[in-house]
Amino acid sequence: MTQFFSLTLTRASTLAAITLLLGACGKGQQAAAPAVADKPVSAPPVAVVDGTPISRDAFEDYLKGLLRGKPETDVTAEEKDKVLDQMINMQLIAAQAEKEGLDKDPDTATRLALVRTQILADAAAQKYVKSNEPTDQELHAAYDAADKTEFRASHILVPTKEKGDQIIKKLKGGAKFEDLAKAESTDSSKANGGDLGWFTTARMVKPFGDAVKGLKKGDTTTEPVQTQYGWHVIKLVDTRDAPFEQLKGQLTSGLMQKKFQDYIDSLKKNAKIEKKL
């Protein structure tokens, strides 16, 4: 973790500085203030730089960005202090940039405006998502309409079609699929007799998925199936419907994407848009 919190002002931290600078620019302050927030500060600032506070909310938000999903409990007090030093450095540099009039530079002003737009759009998107989460009724309706079939299949992977033809001939002669998989397959599933467990065809390369969907329970492909991995002899073991709880996350994501796209389309419908590229 220590190396992660280097004090070097990287490109990522520079972008963070630009982002934090937006609040100050919008309020006409003399120096960029990463701590400035529209809501009242609920806790004492973590630092004050030339009279400008760095709020605890801003510090924690910046820290979360650096952690990228890792738990904050993994961060030591020393590492947190280094992160605070980064924010202090950004505050000093941003304040100096304003003194030098860099916020009026056309390129800088364009980038600031773009980051501001991105932040506002992200805030609006998050608000919309929180306010329009799919209901249980919507989720169950989507589940009923979804292709939720899961397949359990085994396969024998070989490097050539000729080898695949030989495998199929042996199967027709009474050889056991599992025994041939263990002896002939080049795939790691050979240890399990070629068993791939349960899967949806969306998780498989298209030729393999299409072949599985064309089989009946207990059937084996009559011809080897070619993919980028080689040639497959496939046996369909069983099928079932994936349970609702297993698909709930996927269904929620799909419904939210559609809802949000409809929301964007409604905004476009009521907006005057002129493309001038």
Closest CA to 225 of 210, 203, 247: 210
Q: What is the mean pLDDT of residues 16-35?
A: 39
What pLDDT shows up at residue 42?
Answer: 64
- Split at pLDDT 50, 70, 90, the class of 29 is very low
What pLDDT shows up at residue 202?
Answer: 84
Q: Which amino acid is at 93?
A: I
- Give the domain ranges of the chain: 3-114, 149-241
First to last CA, the chain: 45
Q: Which ranges of the chain would DSSP assign to H, the alpha helix?
A: 11-26, 56-67, 77-99, 106-131, 136-145, 161-172, 177-184, 206-213, 244-269
Q: What is the mean pLDDT of residues 18-29?
A: 38
Mean pLDDT for all residues in the chain = 87
State pTM to two decimals. Answer: 0.61
- Phi then psi for residue 63, to 5 deg, are -65, -45
What pLDDT shows up at residue 210?
Answer: 96
| Strands 149-158 vs 52-54: parallel, antiparallel or unpaired | unpaired
pLDDT digits (tens, 9 = 90+) for 129-140: 999 999 999 999
| Residue 28 predicted with pLDDT over 80 | no
Yes or no: say if 205 and 230 are a contact pair by the CB < 8 Å rule. no
Residues whose CB is less than 8 angstroms from the CB of residue 215 and which lie 6 or more positions away in sequence, other chains included: 153, 221, 234, 235, 236
| Residue 194 predicted with pLDDT over 70 | yes
Q: What is the mean pLDDT of residues 101-107?
A: 94
What pLDDT shows up at residue 7?
Answer: 34
| Residue 10 predicted with pLDDT over 60 | no
Burial 149-186 (b: 16+ CB within 10 A, else e): ebbbbbbbbbeeeebbebbbebbeeeeebbebbbebbe
Per CATH, is 149-241 categorized as 3.50.50.60? no
